[in-house]
Amino acid sequence: MSQSSHSIQRLVVAAGVTLLSLALVPRASASFDYWYFPQPWSASSSGEGCWQVGTPPTSPAYSCDTIGAGYLPSHTVQGGGNPGFPPWNYASGDYCTYYGLPQFNYGYPYDSSPWTGFQTPTPYSSYDWSGAGGLCSAAGNRRGAYMSNSGAGNTCAIPNDDCGVQHSVSFGSQGLNDRPWSAAFGSNPVLVLANYFDPHYFSVGPSANGWGYLCARLEDTTQPAGNPNLIEFCLEDWQIQPPGCGCGWPQVDQVHNPTYPSPYYQVITSFGPGTYYATELPGSSNTTSSTGGLSNRLYEASISADQLWEAAYWINAAHWGPPLSLNPADYALVGLEDGAEGWYNLYGLGYSSSLLVAYTQY
């Protein structure tokens, strides 16, 4: 995750309708297939992350990672953002990815919850994987992370650069078979994304910025090899708002071009009424900022086929590259992300997230 420098904002707005309960479970009257879900359905400190390996809706099947003591050392990736690189070319599963920070290479032996808001089981060093300037925490369906401007090579406080730590879910083992808007789901399927996010701690200097996000990585399966073919479709959970900072908050219905170090398109919108690229669901918090208090909140929204079409249309309208497909059924879900990043005078940022969910409702 790294924000591109050039963008277009869609000014026309509309609303859609999809229902999701506060327990992150679809209403009984709806049909649904999960792409990713936590097990058990609680914010407990033990459990699994599970993902689709069958062909929904006719042949659903799931595989799971048990996320406990000693999980992170073999599931943490430095710089993992670009298509074709770790963790997106790894087997399906849960990973911690980070960039702009020195290497994570040891178990952190102390309680990291003052920064993340998430206290892991003990021994802490079995659940926190750390380096100079940052760390990841993982236990069950809960994640914690911290980043700071410490350590050689750190880019958290450099103008026009950034740093970040995120929970990444790769669907690499499925290839391009996960199709949220497949015709098999009928005429009006929607992709539902949800998580809990707690921006627990931040320390910033003048004009610093940062945000928390929930993203689906969508691949246009019609593009020839070598063409930009990935959309990082993001909803903004939260953003730092230092005093006097304009910061472009909230980010509503924007598309961004593929520029280094992010050779993929980005779509960014907020949780709130009247957005065009996604529909906030009942019970969800609106996108919040640091001026609105720091607390753990539920965020959930749906992306319809029409909304994906609209985002792809506006990407194509900018003429940044070969046109993307305008058929939502051509897009495969190849990954998920929830995390945070900061830039320009960021001294420290910590958060926790939990209960990440993605499914098609139809």
Average pLDDT over residues 315-340: 94
Domain containing 78 equals 33-361
Average pLDDT over residues 37-62: 76
Tell me how crowded residue 322 is: count the other CB atoms within 10 A of its CB.
14
Q: Is the pLDDT of residue 197 over 90?
A: yes
Convert 100-123 to b/e letters by CB count within 10 Å (16 or more is b): bbbebeebbeeebbebbbbbbeee
Greater confidence (307 vs 226) lies with 307
CA dist 332 and 194 (Å) reads 18
Tell me how crowded residue 86 is: count the other CB atoms within 10 A of its CB.
18
Q: What is the pTM of this model?
A: 0.90
Instruction: Please give the pLDDT value at position 81.
Output: 61
| Cis ω for the linkage preceding 261 (within 30 of 0) | yes
Structure-token pair, residue 162: 């950034």
Average pLDDT over residues 40-58: 73
Instruction: Please give the pLDDT value at position 248.
Output: 57
Q: Judge whether 20 lies within some domain.
A: no
Q: Judge whether 27 lies within some domain.
A: no
Q: Judge whether 6 lies within some domain.
A: no
Of all residues in the chain, the percent with pLDDT exceeding 70 is 84
Q: Judge whether 57 lies within some domain.
A: yes
Average pLDDT over residues 109-122: 96
Split at pLDDT 50, 70, 90, the class of 153 is: confident
Bridge partners of 351? 145
Q: What is the mean pLDDT of the chain?
A: 85
Q: Is the pLDDT of residue 158 over 60?
A: yes
Q: What is the pLDDT of residues 345-358, one digit of tens each?
A: 888 999 999 999 99
Least confident interval from 176-185, 189-198, 241-250: 241-250
Q: Judge whether 177 lies within some domain.
A: yes
Cβ contacts of 326 within 8 Å, gap of 6 or more: 309, 312, 313, 316
Average pLDDT over residues 177-191: 94
Q: Judge whether 230 lies within some domain.
A: yes
Q: What does residue 62 show for φ and ψ, rounded to 5 degrees?
A: -135, 150
Residue 184's SS3 state is helix
Split at pLDDT 50, 70, 90, the class of 221 is: very high
Q: What is the pLDDT of residues 7-42, one digit of tens each?
A: 555 433 222 222 233 344 444 456 888 999 987 665
Q: What is the pLDDT of residues 226-281, one digit of tens each?
A: 778 899 999 999 988 755 555 556 678 999 887 655 678 999 999 999 999 999 99
Average pLDDT over residues 123-152: 94
Instruction: Please give the pLDDT value at position 84.
Output: 66
Cβ contacts of 334 within 8 Å, gap of 6 or more: 88, 170, 171, 172, 174, 176, 178, 217, 218, 219, 230
Domain count, the chain: 1
CA dist 89 and 173 (Å) reads 9
Q: Judge whether 94 lies within some domain.
A: yes
CA angle, corner 266, sides to 261 and 267, nearest 5? 160
Instruction: Please give the pLDDT value at position 82.
Output: 67
Greater confidence (306 vs 28) lies with 306
Q: Judge whether 126 lies within some domain.
A: yes
Q: At which residue do the structure tokens 């089981």 appear?
A: 121
Instruction: Please give the pLDDT value at position 45.
Output: 45
